[in-house]
């Protein structure tokens, strides 16, 4: 069997140890890898894939996705406002909704082509200046704006915690906020910490190098 599929199956086996594993989706983050490198996992039946750059995703996926309707594409990186229109055309999920300006553009873009995407609000869970995201104490108001004013389908929260020894604390905090807002989905956890995220009720795991190998 292919190495990529082997790695994916190991991750899936780990997740199956959790009682809620049926609710968990693995977003295989395929950024920088060409389609022929990703294809074995598609042939294995996997449908959720993540990219972090609109232009790269468009070149890689547009034609393939138009012929393979089962593929669900996730935008997992920083989304620039000027790329929002193309992102709406290509992606099914956006995990990085991080400003009112972006919400305005995305809402207008999806209305123009009569397409409804699913969104995660990105939370700056560690209050880091170098990271995007809505401040923790402003998430409720931002969610209300997106839902009521912009008619966007917000399905949960997303965060990338600081790279330190307090990952569990940040995951716990995000999970509690997610639950308090009534969300059923939560985008949290990557290659190095996905099982910790599972312990705190993550339902979308964004996993790249542990599946596809190290990027060159």
Range of 65's domain? 3-9+25-212
Q: Are 188 and 154 in contact (CB under 8 A)?
A: no
How far apart are the C-alpha atoms of 59 and 20, rounded to whole Å? 36
* Percentage of the chain modeled with pLDDT above 70: 99
Angle value at C-alpha 199, between 198 and 200, nearest 5 degrees: 90
Instruction: Count other C-beta atoms under 10 Å from residue 118's C-beta.
Output: 17
Q: What is the pLDDT of residue 106?
A: 98
Q: What is the pLDDT of residue 126?
A: 87
Domain membership of residue 15 (yes or no) is no
Confidence of residue 129 (pLDDT cuts 50, 70, 90): confident
Number of domains in the chain: 1
Domain membership of residue 139 (yes or no) is yes
* pTM exceeding 0.85: yes
Q: What is the pLDDT of residue 165?
A: 81
Domain membership of residue 165 (yes or no) is yes
Angle value at C-alpha 117, between 29 and 163, nearest 5 degrees: 40
Read off the pLDDT of residues 40-86 as tens digits, 9 standing for 90 and up: 999 999 999 999 999 999 999 999 999 999 999 999 999 999 999 99
Domain membership of residue 152 (yes or no) is yes
DSSP for 143-195, please give it.
HHIIIIIS--EEEEEE----SSTTHHHHHHHHHHHHHHTT-SEEE---TTTHH
Domain membership of residue 64 (yes or no) is yes
Domain membership of residue 180 (yes or no) is yes
Read off the pLDDT of residues 136-172 as tens digits, 9 standing for 90 and up: 999 999 999 999 999 999 999 999 998 888 899 999 9
Q: What is the pLDDT of residue 128?
A: 85
84 three-state secondary structure: helix
DSSP for 85-124, please give it.
HHHHHH-SEEEEE--HHHHHHHHHHHHHTT---EEEEEEE
Domain membership of residue 14 (yes or no) is no
Domain membership of residue 17 (yes or no) is no
Is the Cα torsion angle 102, 105, 86, 50 positive or negative in sign? positive
Residue burial 28-38, b: 16+ Cβ < 10 Å; e: rest: bbbbebeeeeb
Domain CATH number, residue 34: 3.20.20.10
Read off the pLDDT of residues 90-112 as tens digits, 9 standing for 90 and up: 999 999 999 999 999 999 999 99
Angle value at C-alpha 164, between 18 and 30, nearest 5 degrees: 60
């Amino acid at each position: 069997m292919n190495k990529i599929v082997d790695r994916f199956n190991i991750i899936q086996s780990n997740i199956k140890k959790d009682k809620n594993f049926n609710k968990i989706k693995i977003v295989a983050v395929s950024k920088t890898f060409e389609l022929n490198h990703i294809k074995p996992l598609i042939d294995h039946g996997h449908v959720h894939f993540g990219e972090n750059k609109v232009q790269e995703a468009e070149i890689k996926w547009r034609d393939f996705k138009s012929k393979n309707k089962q593929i669900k594409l996730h935008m997992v990186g920083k989304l620039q406002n000027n790329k929002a229109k193309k992102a709406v055309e290509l992606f099914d999920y956006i995990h990085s909704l991080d400003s009112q300006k972006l919400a305005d553009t995305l809402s207008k873009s999806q209305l123009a082509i009569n397409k409804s995407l699913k969104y995660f609000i990105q939370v700056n869970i560690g209050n880091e200046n170098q990271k995007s995201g809505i401040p923790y104490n402003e998430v409720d108001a931002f969610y209300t704006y997106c839902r009521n004013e912009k008619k966007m389908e917000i399905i949960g929260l997303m965060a990338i915690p600081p790279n330190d020894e307090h990952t569990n604390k940040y995951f716990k905090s995000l999970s509690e906020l997610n639950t308090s807002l009534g969300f059923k989905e939560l985008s949290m956890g990557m290659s190095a910490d996905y099982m910790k995220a599972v312990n705190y009720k993550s339902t979308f795991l964004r996993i790249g190098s542990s599946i596809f190998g190290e990027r060159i």
